[in-house]
Amino acid sequence: MKSSHDPWQVAEAILGVSRRVLLRGKPGTGKTYAASKLGLRENQKVYQITMTPETPMAEIRGHFIQVGGEFVWHDGPAIAAWREGARLVINEIDRASEDVHSLLYVIMDDPEFAELTLPSGETVRPNEGFGLVATMNGVPDDLPDALQDRLPVDIEITDLAQGAVDRLPEDLREACRNTALAKSDERNISIRMWMEFASLREHFKDEEGGVITAAYAVFGDKADAALVALTIGATASPAIDAQGNHVDEEAMMKLSGTFNFIEDYMKAVNLPYSDLADVNVRSVAAELQNAVMRFQESDPGAEIFWSTPDSIKNGNIYVQVNGLRITPEYFKQPA
């Protein structure tokens, strides 16, 4: 389904109305969250399954299990959703095997034709209210033609689900928005990763260097990008440069987070600046350079300087924008 409207507005309007919907787009945009939350009837149940090439058809349809001395039939999520008029969410549908495809052709068929005889001998049909939402990271052409035909509503997700972002602590939301849709793989960080970081940060909040520990545990080699994106605290007041112009407030927030990161970093390595190895100095300088890029984006003509490696080794950390010298202490002034 192509639309010039906000894709989440379209999804919210369509889910619960259309029986079969495909949500596709980059990983970590909240597709699964939306598929399992938006447009549900009151008390409607949701069944979810995530496809892999190894997922057997029986796991979705159902199979016999042994109870005591006999074997009894156990519905899989697809048949359970049929019986209950529930919603079935199939994540990463493009990864399903051909064996699973043969079942999905039936499960996703038009209501008047959909019918399946189970190995138990029982014939089942979808009850009123049954709906299916599939998600994938690829494009429709990754699916067999018969599955594409059974997903008449195709919504390409190009932005984050606001409901998913709102589940994050407030100070992480902007960082999540800035990284979850980043085109560079080195800077792309999903909502799920931010959720886990929030949990670990809370766990380590009373430990020195806890933010650094949480970041490197979750983000790995993307930790630097995450910490640069992270806004920590707020500016004391709107900054004014030497010409009396307001300095970009969002960039100032970014710089505040960078200074906090550098201070935590120094505590973690437990060394005075003068004893830092060259690699550490380069790391600190790189964080400053990344932060000032925000100023350059907002004002390409701005005159910007930041600490040289020699200045860093002397403990002199600053960014200067159009004559306004900004140091970590700037953000500690009383409001």
Give pLDDT tens digits for 29-58.
Answer: 889 988 999 999 999 999 999 999 999 999
Model pLDDT, residue 307: 76
Per-residue pLDDT tens for 180-219?
Answer: 776 666 667 888 899 999 999 889 888 877 888 888 899 8
Model pLDDT, residue 237: 38
Spatial CB neighbours of 70, under 8 Å, sequence gap ≥ 6: none
Model pLDDT, residue 128: 93
Model pLDDT, residue 125: 97
Model pLDDT, residue 274: 62
Mean of the per-residue pLDDT values for the chain?
81
Phi, psi of 295 (to 5 degrees): -65, -40
Instruction: Indicate the burial class of 42 (C-beta count within 10 angstroms; 0-12, 13-18, 19 or more).
Output: exposed
Task: Give buried/exposed letters for 262-282 (b at 16+ CB in 10 A, else e).
Answer: bebbbeeeeeebeebeeebbe
DSSP E strands in the chain: the ranges are 20-25, 46-50, 62-67, 70-75, 87-91, 116-117, 123-124, 131-136, 153-157, 304-306, 319-321, 324-326
Q: Please indicate, yes or no, whether the overall pTM of this predicted structure exceeds 0.95.
A: no
Which CATH class, in words, describes the domain spanning 7-162? alpha beta
DSSP secondary structure letter of residue 287: H
Domain with CATH 3.40.50.300 in the chain: 7-162
Model pLDDT, residue 178: 73
Model pLDDT, residue 276: 63
| 254: number of Cβ within 10 Å | 25
Model pLDDT, residue 285: 73
Tokens of 43: 């008390």
Using 50 as the pLDDT threshold, list the residues of the chain that sit under it: 1-3, 231-245, 334-335
Model pLDDT, residue 236: 32
In Å, what is the CA distance from 316 to each residue of 252, 296, 327?
18, 22, 8
